[in-house]
Structure 1
Amino acid sequence: MREFYTLRFLRVFKSVFATLGVDYEAMEKILQIKLTMDERRVPTLFNDGREKKKGNHFLKSLWIYALYGLILIPFFLFGENYMVQMSIVFGMILFILMTSMISDFSSVLLDVRDKNILQTKPLNKKTINAAKVMHIMIYMGFLTGAFAAIPLLVSFYTKGILFTLIFLAGLFLGMLFIVVLTSLLYLFVLKFFDGERLKDVINYVQILLSVSVLVGYQLIARTFQFAEMDILYAFSWWHLLMPPVWFAAPFELLLNQNNSTAVIALSLLALCIPLLAIYCYSRLMPSFERNLEKLLSDMKIKKQKRHLLDEVWARLACFTKEERVFFRFALVMMKKEREFKLKVYPTLGISLVFPFVFLLNNLYGLTLAEISGGNMFLLLYFSNLMIPLVVTMLKFSGNHKGSWLFKAAPIPRTAAAYSGALKAFLIKLYLPVFLILSASFLWIFTSRIVPDLVAILLAGIAQTLITYKVVNDEDFPFSKSFEFVQDGGTAKLLLLNLIIGGFALVHWISLNFNYGVYLYIAALLISVVIGWRLTFPPLRKRGVGKLKTAANQGS
């Protein structure tokens, strides 16, 4: 195994670990093995199914965090209102650290695979726990350093050495606080719930990280618009509950010589809470390790209950038993398949947010009444951006090896299976997002856009059929590995997204004619009905044909 520079640096503190009762040589050997194995792990931001290359993928992804660190620079360049400026800075830093900690390092914190190996060796628990904590701290240090490196240099040249030292101390304490806070959060979840619920929490935070990376630049752009405003800080009691304000207070105390009781109290919280959290973590570590054993054993399998609403939709939307079976199957897969949710749900979030983002871009200089009288409700077509990706992803599953059951079962047509899966997608994923957006846009644009909403919904169903025809490869849904996601799919997705723009263009043209939108609705409705019947012909006709063929052969 190769030598790691981080471990060389860690040797400087060998005596400190020895004082704490840690076997440093054993801890270093454990860390060396773990760091070597980490070179196979791909961070969430790059977890897209592409070909995996050699090397530590996390270290190669640090340039993205360095790029995002540039958003902190403007807050070092204006004024000396440190309570406001540094509260925003540390708010961004703590958000990035928290989401990255949960999304990329939960597998490290919750790793129980080495328990059977390490606990059979003459190692004390302090050494094992110290190796786990230092493993996380090494990567959190890299991430924090990448995110804050350029801002640190800017702060040194613009604010001086004292500001930079306070900033470094705040980064270190903030990093400790996030690691311990995440551990205590997991301890709370494991204490009262099972391991499956914890995995769900981690999965949803991964989704939040992916969405925030894609739409965060819009929020950041709006933050910069307040950069030149003269904002005065006024203390309120609830600031005691806000960690970013804690870490901003030492700047105000030491640089602006603000000795008010509130600033001193907040500064003490910035110092004491992370240290107190470390103490609590050390005391609760045995309980945490005991509860981690829930992840080792399979929890009792609960019988899946059928929801009444899902059954109603199955009866209303599906016309054959075969179709209803795959409708229910797709509902379960979309709800339980974690890798599917990780790849699909960020797109749902983007489809939900983008119409509002682009609507806000046009609010400057216009009143809400002026906006409501225009055609900006066509931004709802952005909600259809989810369709190409999700319909494509219906082919893949993390448990694809079980798809042999489809071929072993007497299922005469793949089309019937996909018909149920597509209807499950439209009802379970597409329709809720569309209804939320429709309700919001109805409040803004009034009931005059009801026909337009119907047209956009029908365009979404038509887009679903078009996507299926483009990406369909005559296989069953959820029957392929996610390793093949990127095989020739990018160009198709781009083309399908352009088709969504085509629907929006035709809709906009129809608005220029009397009753044009109603003609557009009629054309879409006819296209959807005929297109669905041609794509998924009724099973009974195919069945009758097969019976006649068999009878003729028998005679």
Structure 2
Amino acid sequence: MTSLTLWLLDRVKPLFWLLGADYGQLRAIVQVKLIMDNRRSFVSLGRYGKPSAENNSNFTRVLIIYTIIGSLISVSMLAISEHDKLFLPLTLQFSYIMALCAMTLITDFSSVIMDSSDNQIILPRPVDNRTLWLARIVHITTYLFAIALSLSIGGILFLAYEFDAVVGLVFLAMSLLSAVLMVFLTNVFYLILMRFISEEKLREVINYFQIVMAILFYGGYQLLPRLLNSQDMLAQTIVHQWWHYLIPPMWMAGTVDMLIRPILDTTHLIYGTLAVVMPFGGLWFMNRFLTAGFTQKLSRIDRESVPEASATTGQRTQSGQTNWLDVLSSWFTTNPLERAAFTFTWRVTGRDRKFKLKTYPQLGFGFAYVVAMSFQRGSLGSSGFFYLFALYFAGLYVMVAQYQLGISDNYRAAWVYGSTPIRLPGDVLSGSLKALIIKLLLPFYALLSGYILYRYGLDKISDVLLAFSNSLVMLLCTALLSIRFMPFSVAPDTLKQNNTARGLLTSLVLGIVGFSHYGLTILPYGTWIALPFSVALFLVLLQQYKKTTWGSIQMG
């Protein structure tokens, strides 16, 4: 991909001269960035990938998945409508492409857009702001073009076969322009954030925005197909309104629709003009007015790690968070070492952006899936025992957090465990697990249980309590049966082995426990009778977990 990108850049070299960039510097920066990208993993994979030498196949696998999904969506939407009623399916198709490009920019490439680490190398050298900014744009657009192309292959082939090759090529051009437009809108979004949010809070806000976007994207993926009747909705004839000119996917859809029908009127001409002018106009606007401000803002981000006004902040933290955290830890721990591990885990999970980005969306996915399935008629969601399935299925998502508890990019700091007089590491493990249960599992189950009780009735309270206790038992069983690591002591690539086998085993045991719970609901007061036994089993397993010795610990 690096060689192809550089070859294409060489073909459009005069364009960068016209934009005021030093092409030699721009090409060198882009080349280094692409080489470094071969060694990174993509968040959209949902796991860490281990690169092989200089060739990382993670992005290739992502493109293959996008091609399959995009082709299925394109054919399913475009094939069921008449030729003169393809405007809405095309709009949905471009909306999907733009949404996925925007989500990729925010989740996978926010660290690239906001990366200020290369400022220390590049800014002291004679590289102007415009060249540096254009290098970032070219770097990001390279990947977005690949994503847009993979999502569009199905639509391109279908339209080219159904109509002619020109329609397919125009559809491809509109898909690529959609990616360019998303680059412009995302950069404007970041600049607005920079204007109203202090630099030290910017990355934190973006991290939470990533989490919310991931949850909304998955929730929309689950809910949207169930909210519309595809056969009736997609076959409707759209009456164009003035506000349609404000919706970018309609610009692209109108341009393609103009060739399909074919039709040449004022409405479609406006759509075509907006589809071509706005992406390039946005790039010109950024290149002309936003370049200097963006680079200056990025240089200020470096200061976020400087502990200015640390005394005031430290006093506020000591008097605020520490007090209630100490009280909370004293309620749920039994000795000073366990209490220290509880507090340590609570704080790290609140500060580690990668932990939050890989854990919080999973919990949101679980809740969105339960809500979506509960509204689906004629399926598992309409069955009488779905609420039990939801409660136990959610336990799988919670175990993701327990799995992530041992992972950290700063795993080399784990030497501190061996340098301190810790006789039983089980106290550290149990304290960390308790912090995870109180901070993540308890609020998540409270939200899920509230929805279950609201939808299925308050008489399910015993089922909710038993499912929660059984989930704690399963969480401890997973911890006891798995290889045990100290909290945040393992490199990301270390734990990716044997995930499939462990996941299948956990799912099987959860299924057995869930069906056993369903059998108890048939017996009078069966769940209330089983509840104390489940709680007792949890306490026994917790004590066993606390007895973990150094011989059972594997250091990363």
Shorter-normalised TM range? 0.7 to 0.9
Alignment-derived partner of residue 524 in structure 2: 514
Alignment of structure 1 residues 191-202 onto 2, 5 Å: 191-202=195-206
* Cα distance between partner residues in 1 of 2:533 and 2:161: 64
1:140 and 2:116 correspond: no
Q: CA deviation at 1:466?
A: 1.3
* Cα distance between partner residues in 1 of 2:322 and 2:90: 48
Q: CA deviation at 1:402?
A: 2.2
Secondary structure, counterpart of 1:296 in structure 2: helix
Equivalent residues of 2:69, 2:151 under 8 A apart: yes
Alignment of structure 1 residues 540-551 onto 2, 5 Å: none
Alignment-derived partner of residue 42 in structure 2: 43
* Cα distance between partner residues in 1 of 2:162 and 2:542: 64
Q: CA deviation at 1:522?
A: 2.6
Equivalent residues of 1:44, 1:103 under 8 A apart: yes
| Residue segments in structure 2 that go unaligned for 5+ positions in a row | 549-556
- Encode CA deviations 1:256-301: one digit per residue, 9 max, x unaligned: 5777776665555434432332233121110000000123332435
- Distance verdict in 2 for CA 1:395–1:38, change over 3 Å: closer
Alignment-derived partner of residue 30 in structure 1: 29
1:285 and 2:313 correspond: no
1:175 and 2:190 correspond: no
Alignment of structure 1 residues 348-359 onto 2, 5 Å: 348-359=363-374
Q: CA deviation at 1:504?
A: 0.5
Alignment-derived partner of residue 246 in structure 1: 251
Alignment-derived partner of residue 94 in structure 2: 90
1:330 and 2:345 correspond: yes
* Cα distance between partner residues in 2 of 1:92 and 1:224: 16
Aligned pairs, how many? 531
Alignment-derived partner of residue 74 in structure 2: 72
Alignment-derived partner of residue 106 in structure 1: 110
* Cα distance between partner residues in 1 of 2:106 and 2:89: 26
- Encode CA deviations 1:440-470: one digit per residue, 9 max, x unaligned: 1112111111111111111112112212211
Equivalent residues of 1:76, 1:85 under 8 A apart: yes
- Encode CA deviations 1:76-119: one digit per residue, 9 max, x unaligned: 22223233111111110001111112233334333433334444
- Distance verdict in 2 for CA 1:12–1:404, change over 3 Å: closer
Equivalent residues of 1:45, 1:210 under 8 A apart: no
1:405 and 2:416 correspond: yes
Q: CA deviation at 1:196?
A: 4.8
Question: Residue type of the partner of 2:65?
Answer: I
Q: Name which of 352, 364, 375 aligns with 2:378.
A: 364
Which moves more between the two structures, 346-355 or 203-212? 203-212
Question: Residue type of the partner of 2:298?
Answer: L
Equivalent residues of 2:424, 2:547 under 8 A apart: no
Equivalent residues of 2:130, 2:292 under 8 A apart: no
Alignment of structure 1 residues 260-409 onto 2, 5 Å: 267-282=272-287, 283-297=289-303, 298-300=305-307, 302-303=313-314, 304=317, 305-306=320-321, 310=325, 313-361=328-376, 363-364=377-378, 371=382, 374-379=384-389, 380-409=391-420
Equivalent residues of 1:388, 1:493 under 8 A apart: no
- Distance verdict in 2 for CA 1:312–1:231, change over 3 Å: farther
Equivalent residues of 1:459, 1:524 under 8 A apart: yes
* Cα distance between partner residues in 2 of 1:129 and 1:104: 18
Q: TM-score, normalised by structure 2?
A: 0.85
Q: CA deviation at 1:348?
A: 1.7
* Cα distance between partner residues in 1 of 2:497 and 2:69: 30
- Distance verdict in 2 for CA 1:477–1:118, change over 3 Å: closer
* Cα distance between partner residues in 2 of 1:497 and 1:195: 43
- Distance verdict in 2 for CA 1:27–1:396, change over 3 Å: closer
Alignment-derived partner of residue 3 in structure 2: 4
* Cα distance between partner residues in 2 of 1:296 and 1:160: 52
Q: CA deviation at 1:345?
A: 2.6
* Cα distance between partner residues in 1 of 2:332 and 2:246: 49
Larger radius of gyration: 1
* Cα distance between partner residues in 2 of 1:333 and 1:439: 28
Q: TM-score, normalised by structure 1?
A: 0.85
